[in-house]
Amino acid sequence: MWFPMICDPAFRSVVEAFREGVGDGGAALSITAGGRTVVDVWHGDWERDTVVNVFSVTKGWLAALAHRLVDNGSLDLDAPVSRYWPEFRAPVTVAQLLSHQAGLPALRAGLPAESLYSWDAMTSALAAETPWWEPGTGHGYHVVTFGWLVGEVLRRVTGEDVRTLVETELGVPDLFVGLPEHADSRAAELVNGGVAGDMPIPLPIAVKALANPPSLLVPGVANTLAWRRAQIPAANGHASARALASLYGGLTGLDVPVRSDGHDQVMNGNTRFGLGFMLPNEVRPFSPNPRAFGHPGAGGSLAFADPDTGIGFGYTTNRLVISTSGADARWTTMVDELYQI
Protein backbone atom coordinates (compact mmCIF):
# COMPACT_ATOMS: atom_id res chain seq x y z
CA MET A 1 0.00 0.00 0.00
CA TRP A 2 1.17 3.55 -0.77
CA PHE A 3 1.00 6.19 1.93
CA PRO A 4 1.98 9.74 0.96
CA MET A 5 2.21 11.74 4.18
CA ILE A 6 4.30 14.85 3.50
CA CYS A 7 5.24 16.00 0.03
CA ASP A 8 6.09 19.60 -0.71
CA PRO A 9 4.94 20.16 -4.31
CA ALA A 10 8.47 21.15 -5.33
CA PHE A 11 9.63 17.63 -4.41
CA ARG A 12 6.84 15.68 -6.10
CA SER A 13 9.15 14.27 -8.76
CA VAL A 14 11.42 12.82 -6.05
CA VAL A 15 8.47 11.11 -4.42
CA GLU A 16 7.34 9.72 -7.77
CA ALA A 17 10.84 8.33 -8.34
CA PHE A 18 10.68 6.71 -4.91
CA ARG A 19 7.28 5.23 -5.67
CA GLU A 20 8.33 3.82 -9.04
CA GLY A 21 11.63 2.38 -7.87
CA VAL A 22 10.80 0.93 -4.49
CA GLY A 23 9.75 -2.52 -5.72
CA ASP A 24 8.70 -5.25 -3.31
CA GLY A 25 9.15 -5.00 0.41
CA GLY A 26 8.95 -1.90 2.53
CA ALA A 27 10.77 1.40 2.22
CA ALA A 28 10.62 4.97 3.44
CA LEU A 29 12.00 8.29 2.24
CA SER A 30 12.38 11.47 4.24
CA ILE A 31 14.02 14.74 3.19
CA THR A 32 14.59 17.97 5.07
CA ALA A 33 15.48 21.26 3.41
CA GLY A 34 16.56 24.28 5.40
CA GLY A 35 15.50 22.52 8.60
CA ARG A 36 11.97 21.82 7.32
CA THR A 37 10.60 18.38 6.44
CA VAL A 38 9.60 18.48 2.76
CA VAL A 39 9.17 14.75 2.13
CA ASP A 40 8.08 12.01 4.51
CA VAL A 41 6.61 8.96 2.75
CA TRP A 42 6.62 5.19 3.12
CA HIS A 43 5.59 2.15 1.14
CA GLY A 44 4.66 -1.46 1.73
CA ASP A 45 3.59 -3.13 4.93
CA TRP A 46 5.10 -0.37 7.07
CA GLU A 47 3.72 2.09 9.55
CA ARG A 48 4.78 5.66 10.23
CA ASP A 49 7.12 4.57 13.01
CA THR A 50 8.68 1.47 11.40
CA VAL A 51 12.43 1.11 11.95
CA VAL A 52 14.85 -1.19 10.15
CA ASN A 53 18.48 -2.30 10.30
CA VAL A 54 20.43 0.18 8.14
CA PHE A 55 23.84 -1.52 8.34
CA SER A 56 26.76 0.86 7.59
CA VAL A 57 24.55 3.94 7.71
CA THR A 58 25.23 3.54 11.45
CA LYS A 59 28.84 4.64 10.96
CA GLY A 60 27.70 8.20 10.32
CA TRP A 61 26.20 8.37 13.81
CA LEU A 62 29.58 7.59 15.34
CA ALA A 63 31.13 10.24 13.10
CA ALA A 64 28.61 12.83 14.33
CA LEU A 65 29.41 11.95 17.95
CA ALA A 66 33.15 12.19 17.31
CA HIS A 67 32.78 15.63 15.70
CA ARG A 68 30.91 16.82 18.79
CA LEU A 69 33.70 15.65 21.07
CA VAL A 70 36.29 17.34 18.87
CA ASP A 71 34.30 20.57 18.89
CA ASN A 72 34.02 20.64 22.68
CA GLY A 73 37.70 19.85 23.17
CA SER A 74 37.25 16.36 24.62
CA LEU A 75 38.86 14.58 21.66
CA ASP A 76 42.10 15.54 19.91
CA LEU A 77 42.29 14.38 16.30
CA ASP A 78 46.09 14.39 16.31
CA ALA A 79 46.41 12.42 19.53
CA PRO A 80 47.35 8.75 19.43
CA VAL A 81 44.42 6.46 20.08
CA SER A 82 46.38 5.04 23.01
CA ARG A 83 45.97 8.35 24.88
CA TYR A 84 42.32 7.44 25.38
CA TRP A 85 42.60 3.65 25.09
CA PRO A 86 45.90 2.62 26.75
CA GLU A 87 45.63 -1.04 25.73
CA PHE A 88 45.57 -0.08 22.04
CA ARG A 89 48.96 -1.04 20.57
CA ALA A 90 49.01 0.28 17.00
CA PRO A 91 50.58 3.72 16.30
CA VAL A 92 47.34 5.25 15.04
CA THR A 93 45.97 8.75 15.55
CA VAL A 94 42.32 9.51 16.16
CA ALA A 95 42.09 11.17 12.73
CA GLN A 96 43.54 8.10 11.02
CA LEU A 97 41.08 5.88 12.85
CA LEU A 98 38.13 7.99 11.70
CA SER A 99 39.45 8.17 8.12
CA HIS A 100 39.86 4.41 7.56
CA GLN A 101 43.66 4.81 7.53
CA ALA A 102 44.39 2.73 10.65
CA GLY A 103 45.15 -0.50 8.80
CA LEU A 104 42.79 -2.50 11.02
CA PRO A 105 39.91 -3.51 8.74
CA ALA A 106 40.15 -7.16 9.77
CA LEU A 107 41.52 -9.53 12.37
CA ARG A 108 44.02 -12.17 11.28
CA ALA A 109 43.31 -14.82 13.90
CA GLY A 110 39.94 -16.53 13.62
CA LEU A 111 37.50 -15.69 16.39
CA PRO A 112 34.67 -17.80 17.80
CA ALA A 113 31.31 -17.06 16.21
CA GLU A 114 29.90 -15.68 19.46
CA SER A 115 32.61 -12.99 19.61
CA LEU A 116 30.49 -10.90 17.25
CA TYR A 117 28.15 -10.15 20.12
CA SER A 118 30.82 -9.41 22.72
CA TRP A 119 32.06 -5.82 22.88
CA ASP A 120 35.00 -6.77 25.08
CA ALA A 121 36.06 -9.67 22.86
CA MET A 122 36.11 -7.53 19.72
CA THR A 123 37.76 -4.44 21.22
CA SER A 124 40.41 -6.51 23.01
CA ALA A 125 41.29 -8.35 19.80
CA LEU A 126 41.50 -5.10 17.83
CA ALA A 127 43.60 -3.39 20.51
CA ALA A 128 46.21 -6.14 20.15
CA GLU A 129 46.14 -6.44 16.34
CA THR A 130 49.02 -5.43 14.08
CA PRO A 131 47.96 -3.11 11.21
CA TRP A 132 47.77 -4.58 7.72
CA TRP A 133 49.54 -1.47 6.39
CA GLU A 134 51.47 1.36 8.00
CA PRO A 135 48.82 3.66 9.48
CA GLY A 136 48.42 6.85 7.51
CA THR A 137 50.10 5.56 4.34
CA GLY A 138 46.88 4.41 2.69
CA HIS A 139 43.28 3.68 3.44
CA GLY A 140 40.84 0.79 3.27
CA TYR A 141 37.22 0.57 4.30
CA HIS A 142 36.95 -0.77 7.86
CA VAL A 143 33.68 -2.51 7.05
CA VAL A 144 32.79 -3.81 10.51
CA THR A 145 35.78 -3.02 12.74
CA PHE A 146 35.17 0.74 12.41
CA GLY A 147 32.30 0.52 14.87
CA TRP A 148 34.24 -1.14 17.66
CA LEU A 149 37.37 0.96 17.07
CA VAL A 150 35.68 4.36 17.04
CA GLY A 151 33.03 3.24 19.50
CA GLU A 152 35.61 2.25 22.09
CA VAL A 153 37.36 5.62 21.79
CA LEU A 154 34.00 7.34 22.32
CA ARG A 155 33.35 5.12 25.34
CA ARG A 156 36.75 5.81 26.87
CA VAL A 157 36.34 9.58 26.45
CA THR A 158 32.76 9.86 27.71
CA GLY A 159 32.31 6.88 30.02
CA GLU A 160 29.15 5.90 28.10
CA ASP A 161 28.63 3.09 25.62
CA VAL A 162 27.73 3.87 22.02
CA ARG A 163 24.11 2.80 22.40
CA THR A 164 23.63 5.34 25.18
CA LEU A 165 25.52 8.11 23.39
CA VAL A 166 23.41 7.76 20.24
CA GLU A 167 20.17 7.90 22.20
CA THR A 168 21.15 10.74 24.54
CA GLU A 169 23.58 12.93 22.61
CA LEU A 170 22.33 13.03 19.03
CA GLY A 171 18.92 14.28 20.04
CA VAL A 172 17.00 12.35 17.37
CA PRO A 173 14.33 9.75 18.24
CA ASP A 174 14.43 6.34 16.57
CA LEU A 175 18.17 5.98 16.14
CA PHE A 176 19.27 2.80 17.89
CA VAL A 177 22.57 0.92 17.95
CA GLY A 178 21.04 -2.51 18.06
CA LEU A 179 17.36 -2.64 18.83
CA PRO A 180 15.85 -2.12 22.28
CA GLU A 181 13.14 -4.52 23.35
CA HIS A 182 10.54 -1.77 23.42
CA ALA A 183 11.00 -1.25 19.65
CA ASP A 184 10.75 -4.92 18.62
CA SER A 185 7.19 -4.58 17.38
CA ARG A 186 8.17 -1.67 15.09
CA ALA A 187 11.13 -3.39 13.41
CA ALA A 188 10.81 -4.54 9.80
CA GLU A 189 12.12 -7.99 8.96
CA LEU A 190 14.89 -7.94 6.37
CA VAL A 191 14.27 -9.84 3.13
CA ASN A 192 16.63 -10.91 0.35
CA GLY A 193 16.26 -8.80 -2.79
CA GLY A 194 19.04 -10.46 -4.75
CA VAL A 195 22.32 -9.24 -6.22
CA ALA A 196 22.88 -6.23 -8.47
CA GLY A 197 25.74 -5.95 -10.94
CA ASP A 198 28.88 -8.04 -11.09
CA MET A 199 30.30 -9.43 -7.86
CA PRO A 200 34.09 -9.52 -8.35
CA ILE A 201 36.28 -12.00 -6.50
CA PRO A 202 36.99 -10.30 -3.14
CA LEU A 203 40.49 -9.51 -1.96
CA PRO A 204 41.83 -11.74 0.84
CA ILE A 205 41.70 -8.86 3.32
CA ALA A 206 38.05 -8.25 2.41
CA VAL A 207 37.24 -11.88 3.07
CA LYS A 208 38.77 -11.54 6.53
CA ALA A 209 36.89 -8.29 7.11
CA LEU A 210 33.53 -9.83 6.20
CA ALA A 211 33.91 -13.34 7.62
CA ASN A 212 35.69 -12.98 10.97
CA PRO A 213 33.88 -13.69 13.24
CA PRO A 214 32.21 -16.26 10.95
CA SER A 215 28.77 -15.42 12.35
CA LEU A 216 28.84 -12.31 10.14
CA LEU A 217 28.08 -14.53 7.14
CA VAL A 218 25.29 -16.64 8.64
CA PRO A 219 22.22 -16.20 6.40
CA GLY A 220 19.58 -14.12 8.13
CA VAL A 221 21.85 -13.19 11.02
CA ALA A 222 20.58 -9.59 11.03
CA ASN A 223 17.06 -10.83 11.81
CA THR A 224 18.15 -12.72 14.91
CA LEU A 225 17.59 -11.51 18.44
CA ALA A 226 21.31 -11.85 19.22
CA TRP A 227 22.18 -9.41 16.43
CA ARG A 228 19.43 -6.98 17.33
CA ARG A 229 20.40 -6.79 21.00
CA ALA A 230 24.16 -6.47 20.47
CA GLN A 231 26.21 -3.32 19.91
CA ILE A 232 27.80 -3.67 16.46
CA PRO A 233 27.94 0.03 15.61
CA ALA A 234 29.34 -0.30 12.11
CA ALA A 235 26.44 -2.50 11.07
CA ASN A 236 23.43 -2.99 13.35
CA GLY A 237 21.94 0.44 13.75
CA HIS A 238 18.16 0.56 13.42
CA ALA A 239 16.41 3.72 12.29
CA SER A 240 13.53 5.30 10.45
CA ALA A 241 14.11 7.39 7.32
CA ARG A 242 12.64 10.33 9.24
CA ALA A 243 15.29 10.00 11.94
CA LEU A 244 18.09 9.85 9.36
CA ALA A 245 16.88 12.94 7.49
CA SER A 246 16.47 14.80 10.78
CA LEU A 247 20.00 13.91 11.89
CA TYR A 248 21.63 14.95 8.63
CA GLY A 249 19.43 18.01 8.26
CA GLY A 250 20.99 19.18 11.52
CA LEU A 251 24.51 18.52 10.20
CA THR A 252 24.36 20.61 7.02
CA GLY A 253 26.52 23.31 8.61
CA LEU A 254 29.34 20.83 9.19
CA ASP A 255 32.46 21.04 7.05
CA VAL A 256 33.80 17.57 6.21
CA PRO A 257 36.98 17.88 4.15
CA VAL A 258 38.51 14.92 2.36
CA ARG A 259 40.95 12.89 4.48
CA SER A 260 41.25 9.71 2.38
CA ASP A 261 40.97 9.62 -1.39
CA GLY A 262 42.05 7.03 -3.95
CA HIS A 263 42.62 3.30 -4.05
CA ASP A 264 40.86 1.47 -1.23
CA GLN A 265 42.89 -1.49 0.00
CA VAL A 266 39.77 -3.38 1.05
CA MET A 267 37.15 -2.41 -1.55
CA ASN A 268 39.67 -2.56 -4.43
CA GLY A 269 38.26 0.60 -6.02
CA ASN A 270 38.52 4.34 -5.44
CA THR A 271 36.82 5.67 -2.30
CA ARG A 272 36.74 8.97 -0.39
CA PHE A 273 36.29 9.58 3.32
CA GLY A 274 36.21 12.55 5.65
CA LEU A 275 36.44 12.19 9.41
CA GLY A 276 34.07 9.28 9.95
CA PHE A 277 31.77 10.10 7.04
CA MET A 278 31.88 8.63 3.56
CA LEU A 279 32.04 11.13 0.73
CA PRO A 280 30.60 10.41 -2.74
CA ASN A 281 33.02 8.18 -4.61
CA GLU A 282 33.46 5.70 -7.42
CA VAL A 283 32.43 2.72 -5.33
CA ARG A 284 29.40 4.43 -3.78
CA PRO A 285 28.35 7.51 -5.83
CA PHE A 286 25.46 8.59 -3.62
CA SER A 287 25.43 12.31 -4.51
CA PRO A 288 26.67 14.38 -7.47
CA ASN A 289 28.02 16.99 -5.04
CA PRO A 290 31.51 15.97 -3.87
CA ARG A 291 30.99 18.03 -0.68
CA ALA A 292 28.03 15.90 0.42
CA PHE A 293 28.74 13.52 3.29
CA GLY A 294 26.96 10.65 4.96
CA HIS A 295 26.89 6.90 4.59
CA PRO A 296 25.19 4.18 2.57
CA GLY A 297 24.38 0.81 4.08
CA ALA A 298 24.59 -2.72 2.72
CA GLY A 299 21.41 -3.65 0.94
CA GLY A 300 20.29 -0.15 0.01
CA SER A 301 19.66 2.24 2.90
CA LEU A 302 21.25 5.69 2.57
CA ALA A 303 21.62 8.90 4.55
CA PHE A 304 23.54 12.06 3.73
CA ALA A 305 23.75 15.81 4.13
CA ASP A 306 24.49 18.34 1.42
CA PRO A 307 26.01 21.48 2.97
CA ASP A 308 25.52 23.47 -0.25
CA THR A 309 21.78 22.85 -0.61
CA GLY A 310 20.87 22.41 3.06
CA ILE A 311 19.38 18.98 2.31
CA GLY A 312 19.17 16.11 4.79
CA PHE A 313 18.32 12.80 3.09
CA GLY A 314 17.19 9.50 4.60
CA TYR A 315 16.12 6.36 2.76
CA THR A 316 15.46 3.00 4.41
CA THR A 317 14.50 -0.36 2.96
CA ASN A 318 14.10 -3.92 4.18
CA ARG A 319 14.54 -5.46 0.71
CA LEU A 320 18.27 -5.99 0.59
CA VAL A 321 19.86 -5.73 -2.86
CA ILE A 322 23.53 -6.58 -2.51
CA SER A 323 26.33 -5.10 -4.63
CA THR A 324 30.00 -4.46 -4.00
CA SER A 325 30.21 -1.35 -6.17
CA GLY A 326 28.03 1.32 -7.71
CA ALA A 327 24.90 3.21 -6.76
CA ASP A 328 21.78 1.36 -5.75
CA ALA A 329 19.31 1.80 -8.61
CA ARG A 330 16.66 2.83 -6.10
CA TRP A 331 18.78 5.80 -5.01
CA THR A 332 19.74 6.90 -8.46
CA THR A 333 16.40 8.14 -9.72
CA MET A 334 15.51 9.80 -6.42
CA VAL A 335 18.84 11.57 -6.10
CA ASP A 336 18.80 12.61 -9.77
CA GLU A 337 15.38 14.18 -9.32
CA LEU A 338 16.42 15.83 -6.07
CA TYR A 339 19.34 17.62 -7.71
CA GLN A 340 17.16 18.95 -10.52
CA ILE A 341 14.97 20.93 -8.16
Q: What are the φ and ψ backbone dihedral angles of 197, each rounded to 5 degrees?
A: 75, -175
CA atoms within 13 A on the CB side of 228: 20
Q: How far apart, in whole angstroms, are the C-alpha atoms of residue 253 and residue 71?
A: 13
10-49 in b/e form (b: 16+ CB < 10 A) is ebebbbebbeeebeebbbbbbbbbeeebbbbbbbbebeee
Tell me, what DSSP letter sits at residue 55?
B
Active site residue 215: no
3 state DSSP class of 260: strand
Q: Nearest to residue 23, comparing CAs of 338, 329, 337?
A: 329
- What Å distances lie between residue 91 and 129, 150, 160, CA to CA? 11, 15, 25
* Active-site annotation holder among 56, 260, 301, 323: 56
Helical ranges in the chain per DSSP H: 12-21, 59-71, 94-98, 119-128, 145-158, 162-169, 204-211, 225-229, 241-249, 329-338
Q: Residues with Cβ < 8 Å from 289, sequence gap 6 or more?
A: 280, 306, 308, 309, 339
Residues marked active site are found at 56
